[in-house]
Amino acid sequence: MDGFVEQPAPREEWGSLAPSIHLPLLPCLLHHPVTRGPKETEFQKTKEACLNYIQDALLQNQWQRAAEFMISYLEILETSTVSKRKTAPEAIWRIGTEILLHHSKSNIEELNYFTERMKNLGVKYYLKVCLEHIFYLLCNGLIDEAYQNLTLAESWRYGEQTAAQNDELKLIQAYKGLLDYYNWSKKREAMLELDEENFTDSSEQEMHNFFRQAAVNLKEIIKIPGVWDPFVVSYVDLLEFYGDFDEAREVLTEYAYNSKFPPNPNAHAYLYHFLKRRGESKKSLVSVLKILHKTVPSHELMLEFYTMLKKSKKDKKRRLGLEVIFEVLDFAGWKENVKAWSCLAEQIKQILDNSNKHLDWVKEEWNSRKDWWPAFHFSHYLAKRNWQENEKLAYEKALLAGILLGKDCKYYKYVLHQGCKAKKKRFQTLKKFVKKHNSAYLRITACSDSSTHL
């Protein structure tokens, strides 16, 4: 509190009605006469204006100014308006926390003290305050302190619980389970580093206790429809370690396919990785990735999906593979991915070398992209940058530019010129390949508007 504002007057000088609230940059106790009757309207106007000033200070990152206005705004707790009295504690808690998180003179001890005062300001917000306080402790690496707070919050009871409080309690139990998993994983690492003979029975029992506590709480939270990625991953890791693969599969399948849960690409990725670890059939893996492709066509697993489809003997799957790799390159995050461009170039070369069989596949994919891919991927500017930064990338793209846009495409011409000037043999091969398959370019662009040769 030192250095924030002036020290408060001695406790005996304050009235008995003052609430015991300590915001580290404010006096420990506050007392202002409670207004009643006609003055209440003026009181409310003053507090609303004060709140506006606080919001303005927060938006401008003026934390000291916001703290000073908070001194006045705390009087809102003494209002006779029922609705204001109900909402004021949360406003004070959230604003006070925001100030303490950013004020240059604040520290963890002060925020902890303020949070403890806020927990007891209103029963309605106790568990909610606990949760956010725990997140703060975890973000600051205070694992043990977070666990202690979770244990206390888990045992908290006051009257009949509301539905919201019941949900918050389940979250608290879930995060406690997550920290039990964290402690279990540390014990596992220690066990793996030691010989079985050196890992004592007591350590093994302690590890099993963490497993049991974590499993109970994690299993409960993932039954509720929602996005529970860290909890699901942790629970599955526990199950796999102890050999309960059937339960792990059931959990991941439910998480991915239960219609009550919100769409979640990660759920399908987790299921795919699990099935892959278990050596499941290619058919099972493709089935999972097919759904992931529909949800997130730019997912990092799409290259694995493409590779599996490419190896298939069925035209339908190889056709889907071409669609997958084209769609991956529709996204900016893949623009400079050499492997993705190499995959596309490889498949198109195979089609051209196979008497242009299935060239119609390429044409179908190109028709929906011919108006924007030239500027997006094959501009003269990108040719210069790609050549300077990654010759392999420039080579693969130049090959595709020559086939899809023709030998007059500026991207193709620039990269080819630079490659030949540097006397790199493969660029001479590239030139011959594009010239040989110039008829493919004509067929791809036939019956469609000519593309702009950027």
- Report the pLDDT averaged over residues 421-447: 84
Give the C-alpha separation, 125 to 231, whole Å. 24
pLDDT digits (tens, 9 = 90+) for 192-239: 877 666 667 777 888 989 999 999 999 999 999 999 999 999 999 999
What pLDDT, on the 0 to 100 scale, is given for residue 159? 59
Q: End-to-end CA distance of the chain, in Å?
A: 64
pLDDT at residue 299 tops 90: yes
Q: What is the pLDDT of residues 361-402, one digit of tens each?
A: 999 999 999 999 999 999 999 999 999 999 999 999 999 999
Residue 10 has pLDDT above 80, yes or no: no
Instruction: Answer whether residue 270 shows pLDDT above 90.
Output: yes
Residues 41-61: what's their mean pLDDT?
87
Express each pLDDT in 80-120 by its tens digit.
Answer: 677 777 778 888 889 999 999 999 888 899 899 989 888 87
Instruction: Please check the confidence at residue 242 and state whether its pLDDT lies above 70.
Output: yes
Say what the pLDDT of residue 11 is.
32
Residue of 317, 451, 427, 432 whose CA lies nearest to 373: 451
pLDDT value, residue 197: 63
The backbone region for 427, taken as left when phi is positive above 0, alpha when psi lies in -120 to 50, beta otherwise, is: alpha
Is 54 exposed, middle or buried, given 0-12, 13-18 or 19+ CB atoms closer than 10 A? Answer: buried
CA 449 to mean position of chain CA atoms: 41
pLDDT tier for residue 296 given thresholds of 50, 70 and 90: very high
| Contact by Cβ (8 Å): 343, 303 | yes
CA-nearest of 205, 252, 212 to 231 is 252
pLDDT at residue 24 tops 50 = no
**Mean pLDDT over each residue of the chain, to the nearest integer:** 85
How confident is the model at residue 18, as a pLDDT?
33
Question: Which one has a higher pLDDT value, 302 or 72?
Answer: 302
Helix (H, G, I), strand (E, B) or coil at 400: helix
Q: Any residues with CB less than 8 A from the CB of 454 and at least 6 apart, and which?
A: 374, 375, 378, 379, 380, 409, 410, 411
pTM of the model: 0.81
Q: What is the pLDDT of residue 70?
A: 87
Q: What's the burial of 184, exposed, middle or buried (CB within 10 Å: 0-12/13-18/19+)?
A: buried
Longest dimension (CA), the chain: 97
pLDDT confidence of residue 123: 65
Of 75, 67, 73, the C-alpha closest to 19 is: 75
pLDDT of the residue at 39: 52
Q: pLDDT class for 35, splitting at 50, 70, 90? A: very low
Q: How is residue 82 written in tokens?
A: 């029922």
DSSP codes of every residue in 314-375: -HHHHHHHHHHHHHHTTSGGGTT-HHHHHHHHHHHHHHHHTTTTTHHHHHHHHHTTTTTHHH
Both tokens assigned to 305: 């999906």
Q: Which residues, other chains included, contact 214 with Cβ-Cβ below 8 Å and sequence gap of 6+?
A: 177, 178, 180, 181, 184, 234, 235, 238
pLDDT tens string 306-364: 999 999 999 999 999 999 999 999 999 999 999 999 999 999 999 998 877 889 999 99
- Is the confidence at residue 290, as pLDDT, over 90? yes
* Residue 439 confidence class, pLDDT cut points 50, 70, 90: confident
pLDDT at 195: 67
